[in-house]
């Protein structure tokens, strides 16, 4: 493998599961199930490259408006994965912390319980993190921080405004993102992590998420490595 400059913090917007399922005459449930398995592979690929902070947009706040049977099917897949001993053992073997970020009230209690258990069991790991965005929306993230900051100001707290706002985000544990990859040919962020994406490099792949291969990650990382990041300077 060539020597590439790899991102310290990478995010993936795994789009195209439903379209992939329809194109293969499979159920939406099958498409999501294969998409989740793909992310598990993706996490392993990132580990091989030494990328130790990976964020996946697993369920957006907008997804709640999709048909209830589709949303419930996706929740059932996530619950099954969260309770899978092989997944648990893999996280421990790789010393990987799982962090759940988003509006938890949007998740069913049984799923939240399973995810929280896995999150707690891996909380001791520091060097490698997988951030799973569940019930997450960028506007909601900013509004949440704005409300907390406004309450602090109303109570006459002495704060450093920008730092307090940053620390008040639902996503405050996620560092600034070096690279964001979105699949399925969609060339937009859809409100994805507006604070951390300020100076992110963007890479859009035409592949539907279940078809995304390690060679596609290779192409994204090679492209990222060739860019001159100036951070507005």
pLDDT category of residue 102 using cuts at 50, 70 and 90: very high
Is residue 15 part of the annotated active site? The answer reads: yes
Q: What is the C-alpha separation between 10 and 182, in angstroms, rounded?
A: 11
> Residue 229 pLDDT > 80, yes or no?
no
12 in Cβ contact with 54 (< 8 Å): yes
Q: What is the C-alpha separation between 150 and 155, in angstroms, rounded?
A: 9
> Residue 186 pLDDT > 80, yes or no?
yes
pLDDT category of residue 233 using cuts at 50, 70 and 90: low
Kindly name the residue from 63, 83, 94, 176 that is annotated as catalytic.
63
The pLDDT of 138-153, averaged and rounded, is 96
pLDDT at position 230 = 76
pLDDT at position 232 = 66
Domains in the chain, CATH or no CATH each: 9-137+176-226 (3.40.1180.10)
Q: What is the C-alpha separation between 144 and 60, in angstroms, rounded?
A: 15
1-22 per-position pLDDT tens digit: 466 789 999 999 999 999 999 9
Q: What is the C-alpha separation between 22 and 16, in angstroms, rounded?
A: 10
What average pLDDT does the chain have? 94
The mean-pLDDT minimum among 33-47, 119-133, 136-150, 219-233 falls in: 219-233
The pLDDT of 54-66, averaged and rounded, is 95
Is residue 72 part of the annotated active site? The answer reads: no
- Residue 131's region, left for phi above 0, alpha for psi from -120 to 50, else beta, is beta
Q: What is the C-alpha separation between 55 and 189, in angstroms, rounded?
A: 14
The gap from C-alpha 189 to its chain's centroid, in whole angstroms, comes to 12
18-43 per-position pLDDT tens digit: 999 999 999 999 999 999 999 999 99
The DSSP call for residue 175 is P
3-state class (DSSP) for residue 143: helix
Which sign does the torsion angle of CA 32, 46, 126, 160 carry? negative
């Amino acid at each position: 493998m060539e020597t590439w400059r790899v991102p310290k913090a990478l995010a993936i917007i795994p789009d195209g599961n439903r379209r992939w399922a329809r194109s293969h005459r499979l159920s939406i449930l099958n498409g999501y199930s294969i998409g989740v398995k793909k992310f598990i592979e993706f996490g392993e690929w990132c580990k091989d490259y030494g990328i130790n902070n990976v964020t996946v947009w697993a369920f957006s706040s907008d997804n709640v408006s999709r048909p209830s049977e589709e949303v419930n099917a996706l929740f059932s897949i996530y619950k099954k994965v969260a309770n899978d001993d092989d997944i648990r053992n893999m996280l421990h073997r790789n010393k990987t912390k799982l962090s759940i970020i988003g509006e938890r009230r949007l998740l069913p209690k049984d799923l939240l319980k399973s995810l929280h258990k896995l999150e707690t069991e891996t909380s001791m790991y520091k060097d490698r993190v997988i951030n799973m965005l569940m019930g997450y929306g960028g506007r909601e993230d900013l509004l949440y921080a704005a409300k907390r900051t406004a309450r602090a100001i109303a109570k006459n707290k002495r704060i450093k405004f920008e730092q307090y706002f940053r620390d008040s985000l639902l996503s405050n544990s996620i560092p600034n993102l070096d690279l964001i990859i979105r699949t399925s040919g969609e060339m937009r962020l859809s409100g994805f992590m507006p604070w951390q994406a300020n100076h992110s490099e963007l890479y859009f792949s035409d592949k539907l998420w279940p078809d995304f291969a390690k060679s596609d990650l290779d192409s994204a990382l090679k492209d990222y490595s060739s860019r001159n990041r100036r951070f507005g300077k």
